[in-house]
Amino acid sequence: MDASQALPQVESFLQQHADRFVDELKDLLRIPSVSADSRHRDDVRQAANYVKERLEAAGLTAELVETAGHPIVYGEWTGAPGAPTALVYGHYDVQPPDPLDRWETPPFEPTVRDGRIYARGATDDKGQMYTHIKSVEAWLQTVGQLPVNVKFVIEGEEEVGSDNLDRFLEEQKERCRCDIVVVSDTSQYAPGIPAITYGLRGIMACEVTLHGPSQDLHSGVFGGAVANPANAMSRLIASLHDDEGRVTIPGFYDDVVPLTPEERQGFADLPFDEQEFLDGVGMTAPFGEPGYSTLERRWARPTCDVNGMISGYTGEGPKTIVPHYATAKITCRLVPDQDAQQLTENLRRHLEEQCPPGLRMEFQDYHGCPAIVSDPTSAAMDAARRAIATAFGNDPVMIREGGSIPVVSTFRDKLGVDTLLLGWGQNTDNLHSPNEHFRLEDFHRGTRASARLWAELVSST
């Protein structure tokens, strides 16, 4: 196949069908596939079926693979024997949409405003993932073949820890064999500055509950004579940082690989307007670990954040009780070479040791994965760089990101391959927040970059 003849056909197809692609994405976004909420179990499956159908319509074979949780959609086209094989990973599940009252339009009624499509999952990850299905369709419906073999693994549990993906990759190792993994679940660096992400933070997540009295108690009759779970929880959480903002979980920084001077310089050279960053999130001042820049804090330093907490009466007005329990959800972002499992155990013990008399602590370990940093100069990275430069009209910058994509380390461990993290959206697209959106221009450029990537990858391995 001559890519120089094939590509114009492919790109013409992408242009002609651009509106249909958006309509299809809307159909997918309408499905409230919230994996964390068991009430949405059927919706999650419906989203899986939709993805499977779209893969088949594009010209791949596809199926739903059952797991102990939500199904995995597997698809493939392997008509290029001898050529490299790329595996596209993505996820069709989404974060919970609450707080609902802060959405301008409902989270599962996709709406286009100012060239952006608004919906939960618009960018994370339905919209970004969908670009690869459409780019493959463009090749197969025009040229009739792809320059490389492609496989798709689209899961439905990314937002709840990808619990069943490991077993799938283990059991279907042969089927998933590939030379490179392609994931679009990160972001561009900024509008007009596309990026390839060569590093991700890891994560550990848990939920801690302090059980106190058998029920809420009158704070007048009992207050002062029994341990208050809400006060105690606050003390536990407060004990996770020192006064300067450093994390105080025992051993937390022991295995942290320091940033190299070159990396720090690279970060410093990136255009970054701190005031604009703060304005964008509605904050008046920066905050964080002393001695590090905001980009370093976000990309390459570990954290410990409460994601949610609840105790006692939270309705309107006062209620004079000692709550019978308090719960907090806690996540730490990790960097190389922190060990999620060991640090989770250290955290559990640290909290347990401080639990006051009379309270019982319950600790639920949700999931964890290590951080990952890849070689930014590999042949596959070069291929991606060329594809992106053409589609976006700008060379991508090499960055790290603060989020975690546990599957990247899984692919390295189970399949022995690297992952290309190619983000088409912006990190201001409100992923995980109300009013999540995705610029349609980015959606279309991402699709074009994906289509180019298949040609560029031929010579990359």
- Residue numbers 29-58 binding a second copy by CB under 8 A: 35-38
Say whether residue 404 binds a second copy (CB under 8 A).
yes
Neighbours of 406 (CB within 10 A): 22
Choose among 126, 342, 369: nearest CA to 252: 342
Say whether residue 422 binds a second copy (CB under 8 A).
no
Say whether residue 414 binds a second copy (CB under 8 A).
no
User: What is the full DSSP assignment across 106-118?
Assistant: -TTS-EEETTEEE
Contact positions with a second copy (CB under 8 A) in 48-107: 95-96, 98-99, 102
List the one residue from 219, 342, 378, 461 that touches a second copy (CB under 8 A).
219
Say whether residue 385 binds a second copy (CB under 8 A).
no
Bridge partners for 65 per DSSP: 72
List the one residue from 19, 225, 244, 275 that touches a second copy (CB under 8 A).
225
Choose among 86, 80, 90, 76: nearest CA to 180: 86
Choose among 91, 105, 110: nearest CA to 34: 91
Tokens standing for residue 90: 């993505």
- Give the residue with the Cβ less far from a second copy, 57 or 306: 306
Choose among 180, 154, 136, 135: nearest CA to 74: 154
Contact positions with a second copy (CB under 8 A) in 148-177: 159-161
- Give the residue with the Cβ less far from a second copy, 111 or 277: 277
Are 191 and 276 spatial neighbours (Cβ–Cβ below 8 Å)?
no
Contact positions with a second copy (CB under 8 A) in 278-307: 278, 281-289, 294, 297-298, 301-307
Contact positions with a second copy (CB under 8 A) in 308-337: 308-324, 326-329, 331, 333
Q: What is the dihedral of CA 266, 267, 273, 276, to 10 degrees?
A: 150
**Candidates 41-49, 63-71, 199-207, 337-345 — which segment interacts with a second copy by CB under 8 A?**
199-207
Say whether residue 431 binds a second copy (CB under 8 A).
yes
Residues touching a second copy: how many (CB under 8 A)?
A: 106
- Give the residue with the Cβ less far from a second copy, 251 or 356: 356
CA dihedral sign, ordered 302, 268, 431, 90: negative
